[in-house]
């Protein structure tokens, strides 16, 4: 059962919007909040006068009108109260109940006097494997009403939206200030079954970053539309709108010129009219869409750089076009979205895992990521409230993330292309932040130094090239990358392994934004995994020399790593004086010590180190780094977990040896690392430990403390949190190799009756296994795409091997009884 939230849960913000489109979020009260539709994040940005309201009349009783939101929770400590353009003073519903199963959220509203069941359902289409149809700049908002009264109820359900084009600004009192407003045009339209308003600007230049338009329409047949609220003094706009609505449920067209006065803008309202017989229901669907096509061709708005359009603008010239597409393709888009949500949540996996997996799809559909008209895909690490945070699709952070490769693998392939062709130089040095697509070079903001290459990011990119190959089997994509992969690995051997023993020991920059010195498990294990990926890719590329060399290096490096770093319980950094350099970890138990091993396991690269050591070490990470209470935790760094909360710190020193100044972040807690450790624990059969970590993250994101759909590290919607998809991979043991046509499953629990979502590069669907009297029966139902299956592996054993591939597709499910001939009867 997914959690429910109420109006008390003031930090709930469920992002709507697609890949590279920006977002508007749904709050737990049913409020639309955090309007960040433009070229950058805008947390807290509100849209004045923008809300849904209902006016209803039961039989001949007096009409009642209410804003379709739950109560505004405290604190109410604004210097001047709530401004009328927040509509805070209008009647609302006494109770709101919110449920979010990404990508679909619902809000139920109730009030003592109101004899209507009222539900809002909101989503932006999410079609696995299809970033275009998962990248529509709009949202579907469906109000479902049911009349519980014994008399007919006449209803007007009205959505209002301000025209913000040019930019909203406020004076100190909260009144709208002139800013870039003026010439804001409202166009009332009724075409293709859509009725509503198109909001644009006559005054903003189309190349301006602020240029754009918004659409609010309903598919409901019977409508009443006010193109503009009263252009009055003081707070008359709201009084007049409300009185207009209450009086007869019909909205007045005041006959203003359709373009606003200089320095002002208009608010438009679109109402749907219905009369519900006793017991009757109606669904009233609104579509909200937007188009803010322009960005600078740079990571941040930079006047020196030219304009470039968002990818979505190549598909939809305006928001009206997006709405039209959304409406026309609704059955397909809505169907795929519902099936995805259904398969993901109709699972035997625990709610905490499903929430972790689904909630961290958000980063790729947030302002953290963007797509450009020339096909490029880029990601920050996360978002400041009002800007991207840490540019460059940062290799070391993105290496933790599995979600995008699982759901939208073409985007990850594009990132590898940039990293391995543009950002890896002739020496194999890879800039861990991509700047060259924008015609610049990454430099530290201080001085003008070229940053060192990051060993974890560089190895991660090689590993992910292998991953993307497995999920695509796309040689045309891989071949141009192959030289870069070879150079990147050669660079590692030459620059980091200074003594040539296969264990990096040089100055090793990494994701903690510092350098480790000497042999250490993060670098060493990542390097081992990189060597294995190199070997496998070399086989694909039929480059036997490279394959043999990688193998040889790996076979030398593996034992040496274990010999050097194993302390009998876990792996440690070997450094004579841990304080000789600042920011080391020494004997500390590093949560990330086996990250390379996790990747290797998930990507079919096998054991890098003795399996008993791995199992011991990942157990030690949980034992030493997980804390069930933070009240006495000493953390002089950034604070993500506190008080009575639980979480996994990045490092601890159970045996002493803590450096005077340990590496920055060592005392912090990052969900992205918590998920990778939890995944590894689950893979190793330490399921309770893994789930306890996931539950701790879940409890911290309870809608009161933190937003369940915003896991923060160095920014909102932080990319590292997309490691949560590894929980699904670990729990289900799902593997996929498109090139060899292999699918594999190995559930870590409830093996007798197990079901979950899977994705496999070219297909996605559900996997189910059941143990009956006749044996273990497995069923694969593809819900989207197709997969040419040659081999099915269950619990590590081949359950099905086919001479000719069988194409699994939505109308071609697969049922296998393990150990029996295929196809078996019945």
Binding mask 655-674 for a second copy (x = CB under 8 A): -----xx--x--xx------
Task: Judge contact between 24 and 31, C-beta under 8 A.
Answer: no
Q: How far is CA 260 from CA 85, 109, 267, 318, 449, in A?
A: 17, 35, 10, 20, 50
Q: Which stretch binds a second copy (CB under 8 A): 465-473, 501-509, 628-636, 812-820?
A: 628-636
Restricted to residues 327-346, the positions that interact with a second copy (CB under 8 A) are none
User: What's the per-residue H, E or C state across 299-361?
Assistant: CCCCCCCCEEEECHHHHCCCHHHHHHHHHHCHHHHHHHHHHHHHHHHCCCCCHHHHHHHHHCC
CB of residue 732 vs a second copy: minimum separation in angstroms? 32
Residue among 416, 414, 361, 476 nearest 764 (CA) = 361
Query: Among 88, 739, 788, 818, which residue sits at the site for a second copy (rule: CB under 8 A)?
Result: 88
H or E segment to which residue 732 belongs:
helix 725-732
Q: Judged by CB, which is closer to a second copy: 580, or 798?
A: 580
Q: Of 527-586, which residues contact a second copy (CB under 8 A)?
A: 582-583
CB 96 within 8 A of CB 30: yes
Among 29, 33, 40, 83, which residue sits at the site for a second copy (rule: CB under 8 A)?
83
Reduced to 3 states (helix: H, G, I; strand: E, B; else coil), residue 780 is strand
Q: Which is nearer to a second copy, 304 or 636 (CB)?
A: 636
Position among 229, 640, 725, 754 found at the interface with a second copy (CB under 8 A)? 640
> Is residue 677 within the footprint of a second copy (CB under 8 A)?
no
- 1, 60, 62, 80: which one contacts a second copy (CB under 8 A)? 80
Nearest distance, CB of residue 115 and a second copy, angstroms: 15
By beta-carbon proximity to a second copy, the closer residue of 83 and 341 is: 83
Tokens of 430: 């890879």
Restricted to residues 684-743, the positions that interact with a second copy (CB under 8 A) are: 700, 704-707, 710, 712-716
Nearest to 549 by CA among 488, 490, 466, 501: 490
Assign residue 37 a region: left if phi > 0, alpha if psi is -120 to 50, beta otherwise?
Answer: alpha
Quick check: 418 and 468 in contact, CB under 8 A?
no
Residue 331 CB: number of other CB atoms within 10 A?
8
Q: Which residues contact 445 (CB under 8 A, 6 or more apart)?
A: none
State both tokens at 213. Answer: 């338009």
Handedness of CA 430, 433, 438, 439 (dihedral sign): negative
| DSSP-derived 3-state class of residue 247 | helix
Instruction: Kindly tell me which residue out of 59, 91, 279, 775 binds a second copy, with binding defined by CB under 8 A.
Output: 91
| Closer residue to a second copy in complex, CB, 242/570 | 242
The DSSP-derived string for 170-203 is E-TTSPEE-TT-S-EEEEEEEETTEEEEEEEESS
Could you tell me the smallest distance in angstroms from the CB atom of residue 576 to a second copy? Answer: 22
Please identify, using beta-carbon distances, which residue of 242 and 554 lies nearer to a second copy. Answer: 242
For a second copy, the closer of residues 62 and 796 by Cβ is 62
- From 87-95, 217-225, 406-414, 689-697, give the range in contact with a second copy by CB under 8 A: 87-95
Which two three-digit tokens encode residue 759? 């994705």
Of 62, 75, 257, 821, the residue at the interface with a second copy (CB under 8 A) is 75
Which residue, 240 or 818, is less far from a second copy as judged by CB? 240
What whole-number distance in Å separates Cα of residue 214 and Cα of residue 195? Answer: 14
With contacts defined by CB under 8 A, name the span among 89-97, 273-281, 412-420, 475-483 that binds a second copy: 89-97
Q: Which is nearer to a second copy, 574 or 700 (CB)?
A: 700
* Residues between 17 and 46 with contacts to a second copy, criterion CB under 8 A: 43
SS3 string, 260-302, reads: CCCCCCCEEEEEEEEEECCCCEEEEEEEEEEECCEEECCCCCC
Instruction: Establish if 293 lies at the interface with a second copy (CB under 8 A).
Output: no
Tell which phi-psi region holds residue 349, choosing left (phi > 0), alpha (psi between -120 and 50) or beta: beta
Check binding of 301 to a second copy (CB under 8 A): no
Q: Is 170 in the site for a second copy (CB under 8 A)?
A: no
Residue 448 sits in the site that holds a second copy (CB under 8 A): no
Peptide bond into 530 cis (omega under 30): no
Residue 195 or 700 with smaller CB distance to a second copy? 700
- Single out the residue of 247, 248, 265 nearest to residue 256, CA to CA: 265
Nearer to a second copy, 330 or 661 (CB): 661
Q: Does 90 bind a second copy (CB under 8 A)?
A: yes
Q: Between the CA of residue 285 and those of 37, 327, 493, what are the distances in Å?
A: 21, 10, 59
Of the two residues 77 and 811, which places its CB atom closer to a second copy in the complex?
77
Q: Which positions from 364 to 393 touch a second copy by CB under 8 A, shown as an x/- string?
A: ------------------xxxx-x-x----
Site for a second copy in 96-115 (CB under 8 A): 111, 113
Using alpha carbons, select from 671, 135, 209, 184 the residue that is nearest to residue 377: 135
Q: Per rule CB under 8 A, is residue 788 in the interface with a second copy?
A: no
| Beta-bridge partner residues of 743 | 736, 792
628 interacts with a second copy by CB under 8 A: no
- 86 lies in the binding site for a second copy (CB under 8 A): yes
Does residue 431 belong to the site contacting a second copy (CB under 8 A)? no
Nearer to a second copy, 449 or 643 (CB): 643
Q: Which stretch binds a second copy (CB under 8 A): 157-165, 626-634, 741-749, 762-770?
A: 626-634
* DSSP-derived secondary structure for 530-596: HHHHHHHHHHHTT-HHHHHHHHHHHHHHHHHHHHHHB-SSSB----S-TTTSSS--TTSEETTTTHH
CB of 174 to a second copy, least distance (A): 8
> Please, what is the minimum distance in Å from the beta carbon of residue 802 to a second copy?
50
Q: How many residues bind a second copy (CB under 8 A)?
A: 74
Which x/- pattern, by CB under 8 A, does the window 591-610 give for a second copy?
--------------------
Comparing CB distances to a second copy, the nearer of 175 and 348 is 175
* Of 4, 8, 45, 89, the one binding a second copy by CB under 8 A: 89
For 653, the token pair is 């020193």
Terminal-to-terminal C-alpha distance of the chain: 33
Binding to a second copy, residues 206-235 (CB under 8 A): 232-235
Provide the residue count of the chain.
826
Q: Is 49 in the site for a second copy (CB under 8 A)?
A: no
Question: Is residue 177 within the footprint of a second copy (CB under 8 A)?
Answer: no
Taking the least distance from each CB to a second copy, the nearer of 509 and 706 is 706
Of the candidate residues 79, 262, 447, 804, the single one contacting a second copy (CB under 8 A) = 79
DSSP 5: E
Residues within window 234-273 making contact with a second copy, judged by CB under 8 A: 234-236, 238-240, 242-243
Least Å distance between CB 631 and a second copy? 6
Interface with a second copy (CB under 8 A), residue from 45, 187, 296, 635? 635
| Residues in 388-427 at the binding interface with a second copy, rule: CB under 8 A | 389
Only one of the segments 71-79, 261-269, 533-541, 613-621 lies at the binding site for a second copy (rule: CB under 8 A); that segment is: 71-79
């Amino acid at each position: 059962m997914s959690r429910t939230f109420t109006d008390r849960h003031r930090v709930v913000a469920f992002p709507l919007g697609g890949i590279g489109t920006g977002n508007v979020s749904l709050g737990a009260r049913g409020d639309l909040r955090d309007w960040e539709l433009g070229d950058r994040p805008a947390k807290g940005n509100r849209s004045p006068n923008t809300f849904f309201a209902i006016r209803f009349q039961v039989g001949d009783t007096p009409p009642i009108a209410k804003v379709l939101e739950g109560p505004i929770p405290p604190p109410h400590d604004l210097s001047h109260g709530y401004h009328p353009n927040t509509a805070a003073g209008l009647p609302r519903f006494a109770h709101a109940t919110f449920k979010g199963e990404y990508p679909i959220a619902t809000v139920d509203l109730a009030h003592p006097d109101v004899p209507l069941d009222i539900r809002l359902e909101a989503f932006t289409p999410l079609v696995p494997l299809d970033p275009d149809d998962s990248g529509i700049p709009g949202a579907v908002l469906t109000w479902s009403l049911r009349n519980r009264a014994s008399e007919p109820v006449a209803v007007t359900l009205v959505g209002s939206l301000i025209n913000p084009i040019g930019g909203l600004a406020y004076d100190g009192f909260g009144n709208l200030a002139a800013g870039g407003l003026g010439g804001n045009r409202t166009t009332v339209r009724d075409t293709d079954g859509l009725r509503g308003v198109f909001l644009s600007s006559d005054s903003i230049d189309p190349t301006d970053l602020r240029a754009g338009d918004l659409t609010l329409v309903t598919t409901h047949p019977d409508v009443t539309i006010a193109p503009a609220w009263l252009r009055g003094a003081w707070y008359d706009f709201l009084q007049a709108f409300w009185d207009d609505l209450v009086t007869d449920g019909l909205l007045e067209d005041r006959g203003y010129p359709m373009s606003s006065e200089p320095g002002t803008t208009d608010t438009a309202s679109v109402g749907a009219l219905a009369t519900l017989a006793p017991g009757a229901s109606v669904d009233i669907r609104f579509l909200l869409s937007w188009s803010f096509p322009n960005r600078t061709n740079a990571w941040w708005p930079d006047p020196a750089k030219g304009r470039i359009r968002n990818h979505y603008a190549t598909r939809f010239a305006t928001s009206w076009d997006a709405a039209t597409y959304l409406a026309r393709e609704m059955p397909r888009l809505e169907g795929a979205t519902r099936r995805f949500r259904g398969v993901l949540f109709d699972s035997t996996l625990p709610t905490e895992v499903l929430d972790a997996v689904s909630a961290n799809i958000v980063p790729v559909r947030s302002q953290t990521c963007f797509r450009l008209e020339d096909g490029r895909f880029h990601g920050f690490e996360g978002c400041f409230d009002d800007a991207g945070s840490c540019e460059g699709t940062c290799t070391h952070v993105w290496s933790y993330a599995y979600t995008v490769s699982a759901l939208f693998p073409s985007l990850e392939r594009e990132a590898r292309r940039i990293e391995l062709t543009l950002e890896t130089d002739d020496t194999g040095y890879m800039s861990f932040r991509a700047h060259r697509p924008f015609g610049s070079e990454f430099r530290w903001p201080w001085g003008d130094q070229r940053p060192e290459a990051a060993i974890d990011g560089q190895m991660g990119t090689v590993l992910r090239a292998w991953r993307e190959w497995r999920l695509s089997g796309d040689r045309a994509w891989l071949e141009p990358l192959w030289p870069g992969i070879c150079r990147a690995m050669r660079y590692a051997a030459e620059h980091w392994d200074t003594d040539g023993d296969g264990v990096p020991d040089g100055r090793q920059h990494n994701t903690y934004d510092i350098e480790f010195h000497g042999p250490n498990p993060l670098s060493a294990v990542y390097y081992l995994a990189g060597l294995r990926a190199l070997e496998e890719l070399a086989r694909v590329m039929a480059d036997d020399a490279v394959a043999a060399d990688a193998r040889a290096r790996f076979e030398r490096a593996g034992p040496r790593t274990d010999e050097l770093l194993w302390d009998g319980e876990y792996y440690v950094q070997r450094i004579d004086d841990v304080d000789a350099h600042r920011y080391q970890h020494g004997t500390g138990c590093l949560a990330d010590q086996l990250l390379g091993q996790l990747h290797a396991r998930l990507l079919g690269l096998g054991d890098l180190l003795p399996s008993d050591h791995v199992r011991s070490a990942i157990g030690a990470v949980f034992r030493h780094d997980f804390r069930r209470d933070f009240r006495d935790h000493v953390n002089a760094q950034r604070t993500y977990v506190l008080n009575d909360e639980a979480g996994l710190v990045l490092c601890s020193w159970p045996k002493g040896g803590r450096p005077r100044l340990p590496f920055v972040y060592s005392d912090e807690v990052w969900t992205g690392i918590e998920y990778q450790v939890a995944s590894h624990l689950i893979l190793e059969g330490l399921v309770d430990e893994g789930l306890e970590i996931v539950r701790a993250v879940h409890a911290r994101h309870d809608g009161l403390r933190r937003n369940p759909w915003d896991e923060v590290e160095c920014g909102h919607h932080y990319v590292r949190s997309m490691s949560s998809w590894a929980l699904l991979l670990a729990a289900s043991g799902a593997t996929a190799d498109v090139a060899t046509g292999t699918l594999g499953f190995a559930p870590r629990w409830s093996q007798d009756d197990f079901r979950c979502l899977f994705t496999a590069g070219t297909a996605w669907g559900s996997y189910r296994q059941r143990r009956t009297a006749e044996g273990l029966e497995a069923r694969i139902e593809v819900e989207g795409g197709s997969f040419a299956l040659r081999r099915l592996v269950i619990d590590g054993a081949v359950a099905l091997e086919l001479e000719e591939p069988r194409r699994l597709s939505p109308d071609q499910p697969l049922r296998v009884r393990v150990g029996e001939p295929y196809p078996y009867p019945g």
